[in-house]
Chains A and B, each alone.
Chain A
């Protein structure tokens, strides 16, 4: 269905059946809210990420996406290379900082940009994950901002409602 066709059907629905239209649009908003992976938190000298996830695995995956979303335009990054990441057991807060620092390390040393993450295991016993992306290429990729380090300042990883929420401040 083309975009103009979609618009046509949506308009027709709104006109003919306003109640159902309202019901459906609320569902869409709810769905989008549930799917929201992260928010950017304003901080004068630095920048923060608030990350959401329905479970811990998704939370850590979304943290990776949020992190590289700040650095680059992910639409231009392809999944050409992958790296396995394993981290030892820590508190969840420390594990979150370690995870992002590990990604930053790979970004700096190997110039990698990651866009897809699969966390196989995460918890008090550590983390096992695969990150996919490709090397930075001048002309193909853009850099929005450079991250210097991931800090422990105001770090939070906690349950919220039915899911998880984390907060991390990055030094830029």
Chain B
């Protein structure tokens, strides 16, 4: 999200802001908003409508949807393909960030690489920005687990040899494949809803802390894009246009200017790509390119990637006051537990600058702005 605030305007307020975000946006075991109760019927609406459900319930505005991949709703979602268990896990966790590498981060635009594109995305130097990284939570994992069991049998049925059982699969057009895509769409729509609700609480928190009106704060969604998803898309292969299923796992869609699936506002520049780094270094906004369409089915990287296992990270963090270290760097961090902060120490990640430079020089997406964190809420 972008804002109408500059870095100077929020100086000295960061601790208060992070504390308020931590209260308003649930993270950690068993935490959820007391004002949110989701029945089974409502949950099925979430699966079918995606972020639109959230907007109808008063979380954000219609114009937010224009800046979400697929308008925050993937077609073909069938709630009947989602198990009772997945439903239950989802009900408890809608509107929560979750642990691992998920976060809500307040930062500022530290560097602008392309003035024209940055302006088109509404981004400018020293502007306050907010990054939200979360997804379909336990529901997505349960859908995955349920269908892995199905796919293990179908791999046998369709005589697909597997190097590892986790890679089990089925033909897309098979009944199992179709059912999976219908269930996956439910999980994706749940994730869009989850992020939309969190964006709304980010806005409320800013209003509460800065005591300024929404029109003054101008917290607007720049873009919302999936990091792990399979999409049916048209790509040119050997000079021929084909409908294919592109599975982006640990990858982000990076469509070029003029592509029909990107927002009207961004038609001239291309699709914004959000690349979170670690909590101590920086993150990037990139833009999709024609090169990506030619070489990588319109895809680019999705984050820095780890160099240290979580176990190693916790060992490396032993005896160090990580929250204090970050504070000395000017970054306020608040997490549900020490362990989840320690496993996310900056040293555990590759330098996102290196990763982004690789995709930039390869031309599969181009640098627009660099974001430097000021406050981070971890699950």
Contact = CB atoms under 8 A, between A and B. Distances in A.
Q: Do A and B bind each other?
A: yes
Interface of A: 40, 42-45, 47, 93-94, 101, 105, 107-109, 111, 135-136, 142-146, 148-155, 171-172
B60 interface: no
A42 B85 contact: no
A145 B343 contact: yes
B276 to A, nearest CB: 15
A119 B333 CA distance: 42
**Among B164, B166, B340, which residue has the most Cβ atoms of chain A within 10 A?**
B166
A172 B343 CA distance: 10
Contacts of A152: 148, 152, 164-166, 168
B9 to A, nearest CB: 34
A107 to B, nearest CB: 8
A142 B338 contact: yes
B337 interface: yes
Contact of A42 (B30, B168, B312, B343): B312
Given A143-B28, A154-B164, A45 B142 contact: no
Contacts of A151: 166
Contact of B145 (A142, A149, A153): A149
Nearest to B308: A44
Contacts of B306: 44-45
Given A105-B89, A107-B29, 16 more contacts: A44-B309, A45-B306, A47-B309, A105-B88, A105-B142, A108-B89, A108-B92, A142-B338, A143-B28, A143-B340, A146-B98, A146-B99, A149-B144, A150-B145, A152-B164, A172-B310
B246 interface: no
Contacts, number: 86
A109 B92 contact: yes
Contacts of A136: 29-30
A43 B141 contact: no
Interface in B278-331: 306-312, 314
Nearest to B144: A149
A143 B339 contact: yes
Nearest to B335: A143
A157 to B, nearest CB: 12
Contacts of A40: 311
Nearest to A136: B29
A135 B29 CA distance: 10
B166 A145 contact: no
A42 B311 contact: yes
Interface of B: 28-30, 85, 88-89, 92-93, 98-100, 138, 141-142, 144-145, 148-149, 152, 164-166, 168, 306-312, 314, 336-340, 343, 379
16 contacts: A40-B311, A47-B309, A108-B138, A109-B92, A136-B29, A143-B28, A145-B339, A146-B99, A146-B340, A146-B379, A148-B100, A148-B141, A152-B152, A152-B165, A152-B166, A153-B165
B58 to A, nearest CB: 27
B352 to A, nearest CB: 16
Given A105-B89, A109-B88, A152-B165, A47 B310 contact: yes
Contact of B340 (A135, A145, A148): A145
Contact of B141 (A47, A143, A144, A149): A149
A107 B306 CA distance: 27
A93 B162 CA distance: 15
Given A47-B309, A146-B379, A101 B145 contact: yes
A145 B138 contact: no
Contacts of B93: 108
B166 A44 contact: no
A145 B309 CA distance: 12
Nearest to A111: B30
B96 to A, nearest CB: 11
A152 B98 CA distance: 22
Contacts of B88: 105, 109
Contact of B339 (A101, A111, A142): A142
A144 B310 CA distance: 10
A109 B338 contact: no
A76 to B, nearest CB: 13
Contact of A171 (B30, B141, B311, B312): B141
Contacts of A146: 29, 98-100, 340, 379
B161 to A, nearest CB: 15
Nearest to A73: B339
B312 A155 contact: no
A142 B335 CA distance: 12
Given A45-B306, A47-B310, A93 B339 contact: no
A105 B85 contact: yes
A44 B307 contact: yes
Given A47-B309, A171-B141, A144 B339 contact: yes
Nearest to A171: B141
A153 B85 CA distance: 22
Contacts of B152: 94, 152
